[in-house]
């Protein structure tokens, strides 16, 4: 069953309580952590994860777009993230970092920027719960999906299916009403969508609409 994970980056940050409640029909809450160094933007500290957990039962996946993930993993794990996604490009000891995430009892995800090849994580597929294929260059919501990421998703799908492992494929950035079904057909398990949801006047309806699209398996 394909899941959806709305990102609150482009939600109404002046009424986060409302934004979080509008997406409670989703499967995950996608939480974009940016340090102004790994990506040219600065966002939420771990106290926001704690605050959101007070008002929502949605499991939170913290997407760490940070240069020092070893420092931030414990903070976002202890704040209550169910899944922590780190960037392959942000650690020279990625295998050890994945073990560290799992030691905190969190699901471990590894993200690849658009230019980073799948070979960067081929020796980790048995260790991680999820691979996040960035379909935009990280740092901002509302960007256009990079079409050349579709064959990358299909290649990863083949790679995972050839090994009979349970690693999920997630994509993040530029999802819209036209490409969502194409992405599901390419073999995605989790779809992140931020602007698509929050630019709609009725976010609850948008969440239900996206769930409907992914549930049909893309057709
Ligand atoms: C970008 C973030 C994405 C973003 C969602 O660096 O990782 O999660 O917030 O992107 P859109 O708004 O395109 O769905
Ligand atoms: Zn993200």
All structural domains of the chain, each given as residue ranges with its CATH number in brackets, are: 3-217 (3.20.20.70)
Provide the β-strand partners of residue 86.
64, 110
142 lines ligand 1 (CB under 6 A): yes
| Residue 155, pLDDT score | 98
| Residue 176, pLDDT score | 98
| Residue 218, pLDDT score | 57
CA angle 50, 65, 73 (to 5 degrees): 50
User: 134-143 pLDDT, tens per residue?
Assistant: 999 999 999 9
- Which residues of the chain fall below pLDDT 50? 219
| Residue 146, pLDDT score | 98
- How close is the Cα of 35 to the center of ligand 2, in Å? 13
CB-count burial class (<10 Å; 0-12, 13-18, 19+) for 69: buried
Cβ neighbours of 11 (radius 10 Å): 21
> Known catalytic residue: 172?
yes
| Residue 17, pLDDT score | 97
Q: What is the mean pLDDT of the chain?
A: 97
State if pTM tops 0.95. Answer: yes
Closest ligand 1 atom, residue 174 Cα:
13
């Amino acid at each position: 069953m394909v899941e959806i994970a709305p990102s609150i980056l482009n939600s109404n940050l002046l009424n986060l309580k409302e934004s979080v409640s509008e997406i409670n029909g989703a499967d995950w809450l996608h939480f974009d952590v940016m340090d102004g160094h790994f990506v040219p933007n600065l966002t939420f500290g771990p106290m926001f994860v704690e605050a959101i957990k007070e008002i929502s039962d949605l499991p939170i996946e913290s997407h760490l777009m940070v240069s020092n993930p070893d420092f931030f993993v414990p903070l976002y794990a202890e704040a209550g993230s169910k899944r922590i996604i780190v960037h392959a490009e942000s650690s020279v000891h990625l295998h050890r970092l994945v073990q560290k995430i799992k030691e905190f009892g969190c699901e471990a995800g590894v993200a690849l920027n658009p230019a980073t090849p799948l070979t960067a994580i081929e020796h980790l597929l048995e260790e991680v719960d999820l691979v996040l294929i960035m379909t935009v260059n990280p740092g901002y919501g509302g960007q256009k999906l990079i079409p050349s990421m579709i064959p990358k998703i299909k290649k990863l799908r083949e790679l995972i299916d050839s090994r009979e492992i349970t690693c999920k494929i997630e994509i993040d950035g530029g999802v819209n009403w036209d490409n969502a079904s194409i992405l599901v057909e390419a073999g995605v398990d989790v779809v992140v969508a931020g602007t698509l949801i929050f630019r709609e006047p009725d976010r609850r309806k948008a969440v239900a609409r996206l769930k409907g699209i992914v549930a049909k398996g893309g057709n």
